[in-house]
Amino acid sequence: MELGLKKRSLISEDDCERKRRKQEHGVVETSKYGDGMAWVRGCLIGKGCFGSVFVASMKKPKSRYSSYPPIMAVKSAEVSVSSSIQKEREVLNNIRGCRNVIRCFGEEITTGENGQMVYNLLLEYGSGGTLADLIKKSGRNGLPESDAKRHTRSILRGLRHIHRCGYVHCDLKPENILLVAVANQFTAKIGDLGLAKRAKQSKNGKLTCYQRGTPMYFSPEVVTDGVQEAPSDIWAIGCIVLEMLTANPPFDPNADGPGEPNEPPLIVSTLSNEAKSFLKGCFSRKSIYRWTAEMLLAHPFLEGTDDVDEDDDNIIEDTSEVFDINAISSLVMPDNEDDDDLISFSSFSDGFYSWSEEDVDATENVLNSCYSVEEETSATAPLNEVHQLPISFTISSGV
75 is in an annotated binding site: yes
Do 306 and 18 form a contact (C-beta atoms < 8 A)? Answer: no
Do 221 and 231 form a contact (C-beta atoms < 8 A)? Answer: yes
* CA dist., res. 275 & res. 298, Å (int): 13
Regarding beta strands 167-168 and 117-123, do their DSSP bridges make them parallel or antiparallel, or are they unpaired? unpaired
Known active-site residue 171? yes
Amino acid at 29: E
Nearest CA to 386 out of 226, 161, 94 is that of 161
Do 76 and 92 form a contact (C-beta atoms < 8 A)? Answer: no
Active-site residue (options: 171, 307, 318, 350): 171
Nearest CA to 22 out of 44, 42, 37 is that of 44
Q: Which residues pair with 206 in a beta bridge?
A: 203
Do 195 and 213 form a contact (C-beta atoms < 8 A)? Answer: yes
**Residue 308: CA count within 13 A, CB half-sphere:** 24
Q: Which residues pair with 121 in a beta bridge?
A: 75, 107
Instruction: Please provide residue 244's backbone torsions phi and psi, each rounded to the nearest 5 degrees.
Output: -65, -40
* CA dist., res. 344 & res. 220, Å (int): 27
Segments in the chain forming alpha helices (H): 2-33, 83-94, 131-137, 145-164, 220-225, 230-246, 273-282, 293-297, 357-361, 385-388
Nearest CA to 109 out of 143, 64, 69, 79 is that of 79
Q: Which residues pair with 167 in a beta bridge?
A: 198
Amino acid at 115: G
* CA dist., res. 238 & res. 187, Å (int): 19
Residues classed as catalytic: 171
Annotated binding site for ATP: 75
Annotated binding site: 75
